[in-house]
Chains A and B, each alone.
Chain A
Amino acid sequence: MSMDSSGMIRAKSPRISELRRLIKVMCNRVVVVVGIGIIAFFILVAIFAPMLAAHDPLYTYLESILNPPSGIHPLGTDQVGRDVLSRLIYGTRISFLVGIFGVTIAGTLGMGLGLVAGYFGGWVNAIIMRCIDALLAIPPIVLMMAISAILGGGLFNVLIAIGFGMMPTYCRLMCAQVTVLKENDYILVLQTAGASSWRIMRHLFINAFPPLLVLITTNLGTAILMEAGLSFLGIGILPPTPSWGAMIYDGRRLLFSNPILSLAPGGAIMLIVLAFNIVGDGLRDALDPKLRGTL
């Protein structure tokens, strides 16, 4: 509680209390907290990678190729003698880059188009949504393979491929939300108050955002998975940059003799995707007004 200029006692700003409530509801569930913990752990690993990794992820120890786990190389070395743990740690950076920027590209493009389509309706909607339908008709992995095949590998091109692959979902969801929301009275009130289309769209966006936030959270995991998939297929991150997907690919021939080469990055992928999905679910439940307070 604090005193304001008029001398009235008032509670903390409602906006902050709402955020607190959201965090509190989410933290009431142990799984969600574990999920957040896992994500936080990986973020820290990505940030402090140079300090955590004992070896240069690209350096080849020619004298110790395919070493089993040992004191010097906790997860052993790969076919060309690179330290697996260090590669795993640096791979976290790539994964988060792909996750964050892939979703940013997909979200910005998709939500922008969806907002425009939903707000203007009519032929604008028809054109945008038919294009999106066409994109949706192609399985995302095929679409991304096609884009990667045309543009070639590399981080930037992978981001574009993932962005386009995930964009249609954002567009559809946004368009559906806006189509419903724009019938609300407060939009008419905004119009009578002389707001421009741009301003009204901003209001619509704020109202349409919560369900999309859930999609963004779970998609962070999906994007990481997609990058791994593309790299596994050999059309993603170019070697020798350490990427989890590429590491699995490299280790696949030695799955029986040296399973750790594939299992370590595979486990990391599984863990991070699981964590994002759990947090996404938790967020969805916490934002659902019908479930408020019951969780």
Chain B
Amino acid sequence: MVPILEVKNLRTQYKTESGLVKAVDGVSYYINEQEIVGVVGESGCGKSVTQLSVMRLINSPGEIVGGEILFEGQNLLQFKANGPEMRRIRGAKISMVFQEPMTSLNPVLTIGQQLIEILEVHLGMSRKNARQRVIEMLDLVGIPGASSRIDDYPHNFSGGMRQRVMIAMALLCNPKLIIADEPTTALDVTTQAQLFELMKSMVERFKSSLVIVTHNLGIVARYAHRIYIMYAGRIVEEGSCKEIFRNPRHPYTIGLLKSVPRLDDQEGKRLVPIEGMPPDLIQMPSTCAFLPRCSYSIEQCRVEPWPELRKVEGTKHYVRCYLKTEAWEQCRSHSATT
């Protein structure tokens, strides 16, 4: 199957006064048609910058310095960032849902005006038809009384409802790919679950692919088919959802899993944080970036440079670590006892 989006060795950097920040440093990933993919990592690991790079929305002082972004076989990096080709792709073929529903809509325009505008821009629809389509879409994402709510302003909606509006907005032009950048972080847990169910049913209905960017492994566990774990601007582990949760191989992934509460945890069990801080992206060591925080490091980690993503024998699982099969089996069992 030909992936709908294939990113190869993407590198995005920010020139700052204190030095060059390598926010995304050689990231490669792909998304198949109608696939839900999770991108997981802690704050500042480059997951959002990666997605904005795909949209070509990196503003100065940031710059995409290398790599390829193949979308439907076209390299998006050949287009001007603000040129007409990119504008035709954004919103129409790739759309995004952001973290903050409270501030993602223009407060002085009705949601109808904002959504209709998108249809007018991309599909050249008449205002009347566009309005009808927007009402249908709002209805579809579960906004009661859509035909009257369309004339309401964003402040007339709750956070969860606004995020539904944002999802409707993202789906309007029936895009091939939807990127949801921490779409529910600002909402409460019950609303989160509802929204993810909604997004899942919507992408199935519209046959789109979905990228969920999050720091919450629990969310992707339920919805993603495949997962990428990012650390310090690189992908450290890739695998199917099952594989990642059953057999995490990178010590960072194991750490992430240990820091999330589970329903089947024994009572009184403490969550284990990952000690230390993420590395300074300006002065990256040539060795593994996770080394200072890793409790399972071996001599090879300290001497040799950070390995590339390597396939684990006999699986579709890729990991960026020197630890051998026996070693990570050991460290997982160790983690089970603590």
Contacts and interface: CB of A to CB of B under 8 A. Distances in A.
A19 to B, nearest CB: 12
A4 B106 CA distance: 25
Given A6-B148, A8-B145, A185-B100, A192 B91 contact: yes
A205 B50 CA distance: 30
A289 to B, nearest CB: 10
Contacts of B86: 194
Interface residues of A, number: 26
B90 A197 contact: no
Interface stretch (B107-115, B244-252, B262-270, B274-282): B107-115
A199 B87 CA distance: 12
Contacts, number: 82
B200 interface: no
Contacts of B151: 13-15
B289 to A, nearest CB: 28
Contacts of B148: 4, 6, 8, 10
A48 interface: no
A196 B82 CA distance: 8
Contacts of B87: 194-196
Given A193-B169, A197-B82, 9 more contacts: A4-B147, A8-B148, A185-B98, A185-B104, A189-B96, A192-B55, A192-B98, A194-B89, A196-B121
B196 interface: no
Interface of A: 4-6, 8, 10, 13-15, 122, 184-186, 188-197, 199, 203, 206-207
B153 interface: yes
B90 A193 contact: yes
A132 to B, nearest CB: 23
Given A197-B82, A199-B121, A192 B152 contact: no
A8 B108 contact: no
Contact of B57 (A13, A192, A197, A199): A192
A185 B154 CA distance: 13
Nearest to A208: B108
